[in-house]
């Protein structure tokens, strides 16, 4: 997609954080769009800020029928769709032994199934028009998962595998896929568990800016990049696929022993 000007986009998880910044950056580039998340009031406020061409679509991405209905409503109102950003997500960190499986189920439903529901509800439209782009917001944890984030990392790895396969599967269709690997970004993702974050987690003032990530994502769409890692150092986690021991050694250096306690 060489330019976003005049295009129409749907962003999930648009009420705050990374999704809201992507929606703002997209509107600044002249693209109209749908804003999907559960918080209707926040979406309405953002739609008012972005102008007439923004549509609030309150829905839970973990509810397949609700996602399908929101997409149908958006297509009817906007008349088309060029860019889909599957970004909505939640995080629950903690040692698996003490973690309720309900939290793993919730992350699976929102992060992974929510991505599949969003893509499946929109893909036919893009392929029929032989044009479009899908962005899937995974995580550095999808490249190499960390202790206390086993369940979260699993959902992010699922998104990565899904996006990688889809990019190849759609080759020649006119529809493309970009996967996003954020590092620690200053958002509200961990507000509910700030007191219990693992030692290796830095966040806080060291977290990167969501607006800069959003700009990098839209640049990657315009250049049809396979992936975006932001900050760039996150790409080093991909070494895990080649040499887990090397990746562990780098991670220990950057984040300390709690991020990679085993040395075998
Ligand atoms: N922040 C980071 O450090 C970081 C790092 C790597 C990856 N990520 C990924 O980036 C994505 C965005 O996270 P963020 O950091 O921007 O977090 P955030 O500030 O908490 O925003 C999350 C967004 O997802 C929406 N959402 C949550 N559950 C939903 C559901 N069931 N249905 C629809 N929307 C839902 C939220 O809106 P409602 O509550 O209104 O539904 C909100 O708009 C996530 O996939 C996350 O895993 C973030």
What's the 141 CA to ligand 1 centre distance in angstroms? 15
User: Residue 61: CB within 6 Å of ligand 1?
Assistant: yes
Please state whether the predicted TM-score (pTM) of the whole model is above 0.85: yes
Cross-strand bridge partners of residue 10: 34, 84
* More confident call, 204 vs 170: 170
Contact at 8 Å (CB) between 126 and 148? Answer: no
Mean pLDDT of 98-109: 98
Tokens of 43: 């979406």
Contact at 8 Å (CB) between 47 and 122? Answer: no
Angle subtended by helix axes 114-128 and 150-169, to nearest 10:
10
Residue 2 confidence (pLDDT) above 90: no
Write down the pLDDT at residue 249.
97
Tokens of 126: 């893009």
Positive or negative CA dihedral for 250, 256, 260, 261?
A: positive
Write down the pLDDT at residue 215.
97
What's the 153 CA to ligand 1 centre distance in angstroms? 14
Query: What is the number of residues in the chain?
Result: 264
* More confident call, 79 vs 110: 110
Tokens of 211: 């607006």
Considering only CA atoms, which residue is closest to atom 40 of ligand 1? 39
Mean pLDDT of 77-105: 97
User: Residue 56: CB within 6 Å of ligand 1?
Assistant: no
Residue 144 confidence (pLDDT) above 90: yes
Considering only CA atoms, which residue is closest to atom 30 of ligand 1? 60
The percentage of residues in the chain with a pLDDT greater than 90, rounded to a whole number, is 93
Q: How far is CA 117 from the centre of its chain?
A: 14
Phi-psi group of 85: left, alpha or beta (phi > 0 → left; psi -120 to 50 → alpha; rest → beta): beta
Three-class HEC string of 149-184: CHHHHHHHHHHHHHHHHHHHHCCCCCEEEEEEEECC
CB atoms within 10 A of CB 198: 15
> With bands split at pLDDT 50, 70 and 90, how would you rate the model's confidence at 152?
very high
* More confident call, 154 vs 30: 154
What's the 86 CA to ligand 1 centre distance in angstroms? 10
Mean pLDDT of 236-264: 97
Write down the pLDDT at residue 52.
74
Mean pLDDT of 182-197: 96
Residue 147 confidence (pLDDT) above 90: yes
What's the 246 CA to ligand 1 centre distance in angstroms? 31
Under 8 Å CB-to-CB from 64, ≥6 apart: which residues? 113, 117
User: Residue 87: CB within 6 Å of ligand 1?
Assistant: yes
User: Residue 16: CB within 6 Å of ligand 1?
Assistant: yes
Residue 5 confidence (pLDDT) above 90: no
Q: Which residues are catalytic?
A: 152
User: Residue 19: CB within 6 Å of ligand 1?
Assistant: yes
User: Residue 178: CB within 6 Å of ligand 1?
Assistant: no
CA atoms within 13 A on the CB side of 137: 29
Write down the pLDDT at residue 237.
98
Angle subtended by helix axes 114-128 and 64-78, to nearest 10:
30
| pLDDT tens digit sequence for 50-76 | 987 899 999 999 999 999 999 999 999
Tokens of 249: 């050694």
Contact at 8 Å (CB) between 217 and 178? Answer: yes
Considering only CA atoms, which residue is closest to atom 32 of ligand 1? 60
Contact at 8 Å (CB) between 87 and 187? Answer: no
């Amino acid at each position: 997609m060489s330019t976003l000007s005049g295009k129409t986009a749907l962003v999930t998880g648009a009420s705050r954080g990374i999704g809201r910044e992507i929606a703002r950056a997209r509107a600044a580039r002249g693209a109209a769009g749908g804003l999907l998340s559960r918080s209707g009031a926040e979406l309405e406020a953002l739609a008012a800020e972005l102008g007439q061409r923004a549509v609030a679509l309150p829905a839970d991405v973990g509810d397949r029928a609700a996602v399908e209905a929101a997409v149908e409503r958006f297509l009817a109102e906007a008349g088309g769709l060029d860019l889909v950003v599957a970004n909505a997500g939640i995080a629950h960190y903690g040692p698996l032994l003490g973690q309720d499986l309900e939290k793993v189920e919730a992350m699976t439903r929102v992060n992974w199934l929510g991505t599949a529901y969003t893509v499946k509800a929109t893909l036919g439209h893009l392929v029929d028009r032989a044009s479009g782009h899908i962005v899937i917001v995974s995580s550095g944890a999808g490249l190499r998962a960390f202790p206390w984030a086993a369940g979260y990392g699993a959902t992010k790895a699922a998104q990565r595998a899904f996006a990688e396969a889809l990019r190849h599967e759609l080759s020649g269709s006119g529809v493309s896929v970009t996967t996003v690997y954020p590092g620690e970004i200053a958002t509200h993702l961990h507000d509910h568990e700030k007191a219990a974050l693992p030692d290796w987690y830095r966040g806080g003032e060291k977290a990167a800016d969501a607006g800069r990530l959003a700009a990098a994502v839209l640049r990657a769409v315009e250049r049809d990049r396979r992936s975006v890692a932001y900050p760039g150092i996150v790409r080093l986690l991909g070494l895990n696929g080649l040499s887990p021991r090397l990746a562990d050694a780098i991670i220990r250096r950057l984040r300390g022993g709690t991020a990679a306690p085993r040395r075998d």
